[in-house]
Structure 1
């Protein structure tokens, strides 16, 4: 989703800096997207995030948009069997990483009196998926964090919203057993998984000037699974 959103932003005249843990994937994405710059980092490292934010601001001249889309699923097991190290890693990336990114980027937006923050959550954060407690909890945290952040920034020209997609075709599915993917598909009234372009289109609206009177909220791309 990050790559698809970046590609659309560039196609519409924007400049992007891509962050990712996988340096090889970053290099490939940079060529595909036409990125201004790429930075390999772990979003669970607050010092690395702060350094990347400063470097991005230098490369771009200003920062108007933050799309926080990094995420992992963690183990697919019941709570009483859930590995503690997996729980911590999921929360570190999916929730703490979102916090670190906003903490580092918001000052640049406040300086300019303008910004759009898009935090990618999940329908799992609204409903909870069985055998995915860490993922569900972390995404619920993203929704709550974004509500707080959006209200803090309301009236300052900086808007923050979260996106709650249902399962869509993505490399993250490689981290899940097929039974879990089948379960999540069965919960979608449209009877199919989403396409990344559908969520990327919503991301780009949320990141645009046109999204000017909705903040601290969630936008849904779930095929009818969640309607609240």
Structure 2
């Protein structure tokens, strides 16, 4: 394998990874591809069958191992049924909780109960119960990796996104609690908090002028792309991360620098 991850080549052989929201055009599919490069059998979970199938097919075309499942992560019963089927054949060793929504920018006073509940259900509740469903196999094997995708909004707050920021901040709390609770079984739990990414999707959303301005404002001189985030996810999924748990790491080019 070419690139920066050469030292971890084949480090995930005989491991099965499940990526929620794995059919996404930016980070979701990128996480799946990167884990497959390291030898993992990758299960792509997405509510959009065509997207999940396309990512899984691409992995197999590149001589990787993959399958896909489709379900609505806001329906816990539907999720459990789908996971029961897939885990009978492929118990999960690595879980990447990537699925989520950002929603529209809204003043705090205009966030309705429905908007709030949808945000919390997709970004936080579904992650909680998917992880709860899958952690038993990790305990049984005395090994596991759980990587929760948050946001750098949790580090500095953001106007017009209080409901989104609250949902992602909840992920950080779960990450710390799970890290302590699951440590006796050698299960590492960490969060990745991406910043604004350099991508076609972002360009279409915010425009070239804004994206260039934000890139220049980053101390490293540019914004990360989806592959940069996926390389971090892959490291946290690997045996090399065995001493890292309960941490939040933000690949942001220095846009936000916090901690001790």
TM-score for both structures, normalised by structure 2: 0.79
Q: Is residue 75–residue 82 contact of structure 1 (8 Å, CA) maintained in 2?
A: no
Task: Output the CA distance in 1 between the equivalents of 2:55 and 2:76.
Answer: 24
Structure 1 counterpart of 2:50: 24
Q: Is residue 113–residue 156 contact of structure 1 (8 Å, CA) maintained in 2?
A: yes
Task: Output the CA distance in 1 between the equivalents of 2:217 and 2:77.
Answer: 39
- The 3 A distance-change label for structure 1 pair 175 and 110 is farther
**Are 1:116 and 2:145 counterparts?**
yes
Structure of greater Rg: 2
Q: Secondary structure at the match of 1:36?
A: strand
**Are 1:57 and 2:87 counterparts?**
yes
Residues 116-195 of structure 1 correspond to what in structure 2 (within 5 A)?
Answer: 116-169=145-198, 173=202, 178=207, 182=211, 188-195=218-225
- The 3 A distance-change label for structure 1 pair 186 and 50 is farther
Task: Output the CA distance in 2 between the equivalents of 1:131 and 1:186.
Answer: 23
- Unaligned 5+ runs, structure 1: none
Task: Output the CA distance in 2 between the equivalents of 1:173 and 1:85.
Answer: 26
Deviation string 1:164-202 (CA, Å, 9 cap, x unpaired) is 1111145764895559x6586576433533210000000
Deviation string 1:35-87 (CA, Å, 9 cap, x unpaired) is 53211112222222222322232232x31100010111112121112243222
Q: Is residue 125–residue 138 contact of structure 1 (8 Å, CA) maintained in 2?
A: no
- The 3 A distance-change label for structure 1 pair 192 and 89 is farther
Structure 2 counterpart of 1:92: 121
Task: Output the CA distance in 2 between the equivalents of 1:184 and 1:48.
Answer: 40
**Are 1:46 and 2:46 counterparts?**
no
Task: Output the CA distance in 2 between the equivalents of 1:71 and 1:175.
Answer: 19
Structure 2 counterpart of 1:225: 255
Q: Is residue 59–residue 66 contact of structure 2 (8 Å, CA) maintained in 1?
A: no
Task: Output the CA distance in 1 between the equivalents of 2:130 and 2:81.
Answer: 11
Q: Secondary structure at the match of 1:155?
A: helix
- The 3 A distance-change label for structure 1 pair 213 and 148 is same
- The 3 A distance-change label for structure 1 pair 178 and 134 is farther
Q: Which of 190, 203, 214 lines up with 2:233 in the alignment?
A: 203
Q: Is residue 49–residue 104 contact of structure 1 (8 Å, CA) maintained in 2?
A: no
TM-score for both structures, normalised by structure 1: 0.89
Q: Secondary structure at the match of 2:89?
A: helix
Aligned length in residues: 227
Taking only aligned residues, the RMSD between alpha carbons, in angstroms, comes to: 2.4
Structure 1 counterpart of 2:18: none
